[in-house]
Amino acid sequence: MRTENTGIKISPEDLLQNKQFTTTLTDRKRVVLVGNPNVGKSLVFNHLSGLYADVSNFPGTTVAISRGTYGNYDILDTPGIYGVSSFNDEERVARDVIVEADIILNVVNSLHLERDLFLTKQLIEMGKKVSIILNFSDEVKRKKIKIDSKRLSALFGVEVIETSAVTGTGFDLLNEAITKARPGFVSGEITGRLNQHIVNNHGRGVALLVAEGDEEVSAKFGYEPGTADDRETIYIERRNTVNEIISEVEYEDTSKGRFFNRLGSYSLNPVTGVPILAFMLVVLYYLIGDVVAQQVVGFTEDVVGKKYFEFYTKKTVSEFTAVDITVSNLDADGKPVTSNSYAFKDGLRYNQPQKLAFEQAASSKDSDVSFDFKNPVVRLFFGEFGVFSMTITYLLFLLLPLVIAFYFVMAVLEDSGYLPRLATMMDRSLSRIGLNGRAIIPILLGFGCVTMATITTRILGTEREKTIATAILQFVIPCSAQLAVIAVLAGTAGPAATLVYGSVIVAMMITVSTVLHKALPGQSSPLLIDLPMMRIPRIENILKKTWHRTIGFMKEASVWFFIGALGVGLMEITGLLQVFTGLLEPVTVNWLKLPAEASVAFVMGTVRRDFGGAGLYDLALSPMQVAVSLIVITLFVPCIASFMVMLKERGWKEGFAIWLSAWVIAFLVGGLTAMVVI
Amino acid sequence: MEKRTLDNARKGKYITILALPQGLMKVQLIRLGISEGDKIFCLERLPGGTVVIQKNRQEIALGHELARQILISEEL
């Protein structure tokens, strides 16, 4: 029955902007998979269409609709939701697909009937053709719970099948579930609440959402939404009906109804939870900070990126254009010992003898080659900050491995069920600064890549929380590229300087977030999160999820890295960059008490955060001067790409406000620290 | 039976929900299966007031701000 996949992924933005993607489908019937988070919906989808959909264990991270085909049907997967409404992006996306659906396969976690059947009842009240897929049926048996699916079918008036998505049991019944899908029973009370005019013109689905006071749907169709009281009444009635149904169909054999999820409880208990968290962080630090950021990136960036990719690209370009090439031989510490310059007035190909000499010098193992292109346009694209040299190395050989590593780890944390528990553990600390536990996700990601994390602030509940989280990320969280440089510099500067640096940064993190929390109007949303069972993640899901998100991030962010590089390149060839550096010099020398050259490092830090730190390597700084420079480059403006993404996510006004304050705060705090310690 | 708010619930006790806060939080809680009159179990109370409750097999974490607005009675 499996047919070809269309492989189309529709982003939530497309759906939210009301691009009528559903109507672009053919007149084939649309089967929509709907369910709560963690019900195994994606495995059903995979089985039907052969196409992977992101499976999420953390409520609120899957926002994409996957589409595939099964026989004569189009299959659409929706994000996990607890009900059809407009509380967040996932719900809005799912809502619009559900309203347009011909057939709904409602996947239900049999272990969580109370939570899941609320959505089922709502779908049936929407008048849709529905079939219920009772998933996790094998776990239900293992836990000695009995669910009378025949009775359930009779009470709801729709087809019910039992499956186990993990083992594939019952999947042979899915075809029947689709063909036998039918509208279920709806009480006269509910029907009485619906505006018959809306039912006739737009269907029961829209009518129900209007009656429930869904403002977006009401506005779209031009009706007055029901009141908050109406919604509450409908919800309470629905909840009561669902509870009655459950009491008729579910029997638990064990006298003790409490299922003890041991690891889950340990990770929440303060006594055991903190050591578990510490252990996790150590493993994470080793895996990402050491293995990936040092060893893997050391190889991909320095060898693959610089020695091969950039060298051969630049060399090929040099064939055709004027260039000065400098080849330095390095000693074991990476310090240049000898260096030779080769000037090519018209490009390599017009001076074969010198080309040979240069190639021979460059072929030695410890050589470092730099190309100084004479043509400014060539420099723009292939020079030090070139769009096709630095940016590609940065994206593919530095960022890509890190982003993969971070998304991999997040996927493991998510699918194991630990992430929501971590969010719960961190809730109190984060609520002090106007965030809730959920914000731990972008903050953790920030230590990988601030750009990636800034995009992820979308999962937060209110604009206020997004602003606070973005500001914290942009001000105080050093990304992994920068962390590596900071670690090296702090290591050479000794414990006293490291302590000064660390305490100033932590103090700033608390100050910035507290000030924003106090100053920003409005309230932050409290944590309300469903904790899924802890389980061993499935490796194929982890890999596919990592892959999807990495691709998604690279697609979204790459363009900003290119634009940023182009901007900086233009500033360099027009001399603006030098003007900037000149302006910063007096501040650097007199206020920060650092050598004039440090200002170059700061300006470079606006391009790539690690450039800022790397520029400090060669300066003879006292330990306290190192501390001051590290404070400045950490608090300082983020890299150009994350600045661009911030403008896109937070708007021009807020983005610039954060960016400019970063300049002021970095120099202010750096200078004050210098006054005390230098 | 003692009346209090959920943020003061004691770990390991069964509690009864007396009143939920009005508005969007209430409908979200109802959807998750928590309604007024329900008997639930306090699985964990973290320092600072984040509470984890359990109803049947369902575990839900609520931030302090939300828990503070939920009126409960606790069995002694």
**What is the predicted pLDDT for the residue at A408?**
92
pLDDT at position A284: 84
What pLDDT score does A51 carry? 56
Domains held by chain B: number: 1
Alpha-carbon distance A119 to A125, whole Å? Answer: 10
Substitution target in B17, B20, B29, B32 with the highest count of A β-carbons within 10 Å is B32
Q: Is B53 helix (H, G, I), strand (E, B) or coil?
A: strand
Helices (H), A302-351: 311-318
pLDDT digits (tens, 9 = 90+) for A226-240: 999 999 999 999 999
Which residues in A lie closer than 8 A to residue B35 (C-beta atoms)?
236, 239
Residues paired with B62 in a beta bridge? A528, B51
What average pLDDT is seen over chain A? 85
Listed as ranges, residues in chain A with pLDDT below 70 are 1-26, 51-64, 253-262
Q: Which of A671, A669, A672, A644 is nearest to A658 (CA)?
A: A644
| Whole-model pTM over 0.90 | no
Contact between A106 and A120 (Cβ < 8 Å) = yes
Chain A hits for B27, Cβ within 8 Å: 85, 231-232, 235
> pLDDT, tens digit, for every residue of A70-93?
888 988 888 889 999 988 878 888
E-state strands within B1-76: 2-5, 14-19, 39-45, 51-55, 58-62, 71-74
- Report yes or no: A216 and A92 within 8 Å, Cβ to Cβ: yes
User: Tokens 């976690």 identify what position?
Assistant: A109
CB contact at 8 A, A294 and A487: no
Contact residues on chain A for B32, CB-CB shorter than 8 A:
82, 115, 528, 530
The answer to whether A327 and A362 have CB atoms below 8 angstroms apart is yes
pLDDT of residue A59: 38
Length of chain B counted residue by residue = 76
The C-alpha atoms of residue A208 and residue B27 are separated, in whole angstroms, by: 15
Which CATH number among 3.30.465.10, 3.90.76.10, 2.40.37.10, 3.40.50.300 corresponds to the domain A9-186? 3.40.50.300
The string over A583-620, giving b where at least 16 C-beta atoms fall within 10 Å of a residue's C-beta and e elsewhere, is: ebbeebeeebbbbebbbbbbbbbbbbbbbbbbbbeebe
A444 neighbors A427 (Cβ within 8 angstroms): no
Question: Would you state the pLDDT for residue A231?
Answer: 93
Q: Determine, for residues A236 and B24 on separate chains, whether the beta-carbon distance falls below 8 Å.
A: no
Q: Which residue has the higher pLDDT, B18 or A80?
A: B18
Say which residue the tokens 């049991």 belong to: A169
Q: Which H/E stretch holds residue A162?
A: strand A159-162
User: Could you write out the DSSP letters of every residue in A360-403?
Assistant: HHHHSTTEEEEEEESSHHHHHHHSTT-TTTHHHIIIIIIIHHHH
Average pLDDT, chain B: 89
Rounded distance between C-alpha atoms, residue A411 and residue A52, angstroms: 15
Residues of chain A positioned with their CB less than 8 A from the CB of B50:
424, 427-428, 437, 527
CB A678 within 8 A of CB A624: yes
CATH code where residue B69 lies: 2.30.30.90
Pairwise CA distance, residues B16 & A405, whole Å: 45
Give dist(CA A665, CA A177) in Å, integer.
61
- Please check whether residue A37 is in contact with residue B31, taking contact to mean a CB–CB distance below 8 angstroms: no
Whole-angstrom Cα distance, residue A46 to residue A68? 9
The b-or-e profile of A301-319 (16+ CB within 10 A means b, else e) is: beeebbeebbbebbbebbe
Residue with tokens 């959909």: A53
What pLDDT score was predicted for residue A99?
Answer: 93
Q: Which of A251, A424, A530, A533 to probe the B interface (max B CBs under 10 A)?
A: A424
- Alpha carbon distance A144, A131 (integer Å): 25
Domain encompassing residue B14? 2-74
| B32: its two tokens | 């998750």
* pLDDT for res A55: 44
Measured distance between the N- and C-terminal CA atoms of chain B, rounded to whole angstroms: 6
Instruction: Report d(CA A160, CA A149) in Å as an integer.
Output: 6
> Model ipTM?
0.94
Closest in A112, A236, A530 to B30, CB measured: A236
Q: What span, in angstroms and rounded, lies between the C-alpha atoms of A407 and A557?
A: 15
For residues A74 and A24, the answer to whether their CB atoms sit within 8 Å is: no
Can you tell me the distance from the alpha carbon of A158 to that of A652, in angstroms, rounded to the nearest whole number?
51
Rounded to whole angstroms, how far apart are CA atoms A651 and B51? 36
Residue range(s) in chain A whose domain bears CATH number 3.40.50.300: 9-186
Interface contact flag, A87 B24, Cβ < 8 Å: yes
CB contact under 8 A, A258 and B65: no
Both tokens assigned to A102:
């011909």
Q: What single string gives the DSSP state of each residue in A182-210?
A: EE----HHHHHHS-HHHHHHH-HHHHHHH
